[in-house]
């Protein structure tokens, strides 16, 4: 884990350590072109056995926390724990990471050193030499290195059970469909795709292959966000009727995130999606309608075909409303929800670590948790138990319906009613 500086004044605009954790998390995922960077010595990312046991204990405690949310009238459980009497797994499920960029390198590979139910067994990459470095560092055979044109050959490889697609958004559909056609379960990073139509094709491919499709919603496994869902459902505390959230960072440099074909949009697709998702979790419902306003661009030469910043609202059944903002020119990550009986406030809401939560009953604190390990283990356990994914593709599609509605509202200046079917 990263050692945080004690003082919070090392970056302008950063006023507390939680914000720094949030920023560091974002920065880790933003470092570009990791495919060109030699892998560090494997021991660099290896926590001590004591640290691993502590994290496993914390993660199991977190996975045992039951929380549910609804999607299309159906209830989805955040509790990804196995049946009480489940024996220890005989074999961990094999994961192949497709796309070895910032998120795979900085977050998923270290998390796969801690997972109990799955392990890194292969990669899909455009650079065979980088694949070979990963194979050597992680101890899987070089036959498990694929490129995007040879993904069909995954079909004959029993080492790989799950393909985790971590490529630019505009490539998710192509890569998820290839993995499903090769007979593999799939995890796809957020946002699920560039369009709802692509989501439908991905869901159909996984259905046809009889394989599960899960989304990279790591916060479903975070104890603070699970606590929010619990409090929303608690008649002595919830429901929440007013929500407000912001999420963004200052994007620098030319990268796929600002090119519409690969990104599908600007900060809404990348950072705003967390606020969309959190608002639905806090409201325990899907929004009926949205309104949106795009900010005037301060850097029109950078954000040519994607938005620079955006405000939007989400209207939920029963009159609950969420007021939201996202940006590529501002560092923030806050979420607030309140009702007649209580409120919650996350000064730092969406980071990989450093999440903080205050409530009208006082602050809430959980021990640190590697979200990505809990996320992948939760999905692996569901696959082993032949249960629905705790973060199914349908949830990713739901968020893309909302995002498409927000873009439509921003373009038209009109309130847009959302249709999920």
Q: Which residues bind ligand NAD (CB under 6 A)?
A: 29, 32, 34-35, 99-104, 126, 166-169, 171, 189-190, 216, 218, 256, 262, 270
Which residue's beta carbon is nearest to the bound ligand NAD?
101
Please, which residues bridge with residue 245 across strands? 324, 335
Question: Edge to edge, what strands does the sheet with 416-417 contain?
Answer: 362-364, 356-359, 343-348, 329-338, 242-250, 321-327, 309-315, 289-294, 416-417
CB-CB contact of 220 with 401 (8 Å): no
The answer to whether the CB of 148 falls within 8 A of the CB of 166 is: no
Minimal distance, residue 22 CB to ligand NAD, in Å: 11
Q: Among 336, 341, 338, which Cα is nearest to 325's? A: 336
Identify whether the C-beta of residue 289 lies closer than 8 Å to the C-beta of residue 282: no
Residues in the chain: 421
| DSSP state at residue 285 | S
Task: Please say which residue, 185 or 257, places its beta carbon nearer to ligand NAD.
Answer: 257
CB of 149 to ligand NAD, least distance (A): 11
CA distance 413 to 205: 35
Token pair for 2: 């990263």
Q: Report the nearest approach of ligand NAD to the CB of residue 218 (Å).
A: 5
- CB of residue 313 to ligand NAD, shortest distance in Å: 24
Q: How far is the CB of 287 from ligand NAD (least distance, A)?
A: 22
Q: How far is the CB of 169 from ligand NAD (least distance, A)?
A: 5
Residue 168 in tokens = 């630019």
In the sheet that holds 145-146, the strands lie side by side as: 145-146, 118-124, 93-98, 162-165, 185-188, 213-215
- CB nearer to ligand NAD: give 339 or 396: 396
Q: How far is the CB of 349 from ligand NAD (least distance, A)?
A: 13
Q: Which is nearer to ligand NAD, 285 or 324 (CB)?
A: 324
Give the nearer residue to ligand NAD in terms of CB position, either 278 or 416.
278
With respect to ligand NAD, which residue has the nearer C-beta, 32 or 358? 32
* CA dihedral of residues 320, 399, 413, 421 (deg, nearest 10): -90
Pick 92 or 218: Cβ nearer ligand NAD: 218
Q: Which is nearer to ligand NAD, 115 or 313 (CB)?
A: 115
């Amino acid at each position: 884990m990263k050692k945080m500086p004690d003082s919070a004044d090392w970056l302008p605009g950063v006023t507390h350590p939680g914000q720094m954790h949030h920023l560091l998390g974002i920065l880790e995922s933003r470092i570009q072109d990791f495919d060109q960077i030699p892998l560090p010595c494997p021991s660099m990312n290896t926590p001590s056995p004591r640290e691993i046991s502590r994290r496993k204990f914390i993660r199991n405690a977190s996975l045992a926390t039951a929380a549910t949310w609804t999607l299309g009238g159906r209830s989805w459980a955040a509790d990804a724990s196995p049946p009480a009497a489940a024996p220890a797994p005989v074999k961990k499920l094999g994961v192949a990471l497709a796309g070895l960029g910032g998120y795979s390198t900085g977050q998923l590979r270290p998390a796969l050193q801690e997972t109990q139910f799955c392990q890194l067994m292969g990669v899909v990459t455009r650079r065979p030499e980088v694949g070979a470095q990963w194979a050597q560092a992680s101890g899987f055979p070089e036959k498990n290195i694929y490129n995007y044109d040879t993904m069909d050959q995954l079909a004959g490889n029993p080492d790989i059970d799950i393909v985790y697609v971590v490529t630019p958004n505009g490539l998710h559909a192509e890569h998820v469909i290839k993995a499903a056609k090769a007979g593999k379960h799939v995890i796809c990073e957020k946002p699920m795709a560039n369009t709802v139509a692509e989501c439908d094709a991905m869901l159909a491919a996984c259905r046809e292959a009889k394989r599960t499709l899960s989304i990279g919603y790591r916060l479903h496994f975070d104890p603070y966000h699970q606590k929010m869902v619990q409090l929303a459902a608690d008649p002595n505390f919830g429901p929440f009727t007013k929500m407000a959230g912001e999420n963004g960072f200052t994007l620098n440099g030319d990268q796929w995130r600002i090119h519409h074909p690969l990104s599908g949009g600007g900060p809404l697709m990348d950072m705003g999606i967390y606020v969309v998702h959190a608002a639905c979790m806090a409201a325990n419902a899907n929004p009926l309608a949205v309104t949106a306003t795009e900010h005037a661009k301060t850097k029109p030469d950078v954000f040519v075909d994607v938005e620079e910043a955006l405000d939007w609202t989400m209207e939920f059944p029963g009159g609950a409303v969420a007021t939201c903002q996202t940006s590529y020119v501002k560092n923030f990550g806050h979420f607030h929800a309140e009702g007649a009986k209580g409120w919650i406030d996350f000064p730092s809401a969406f980071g990989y670590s450093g999440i903080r939560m205050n409530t009208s009953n006082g602050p809430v604190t959980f021990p640190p948790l590697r979200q990505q390990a809990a996320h992948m283990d939760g999905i692996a356990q569901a696959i082993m138990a032949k249960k629905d994914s705790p973060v199914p593709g349908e949830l990713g599609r739901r968020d893309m319906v909302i995002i498409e509605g927000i873009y439509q509202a921003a373009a038209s200046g009109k309130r847009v009613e959302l249709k999920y079917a």
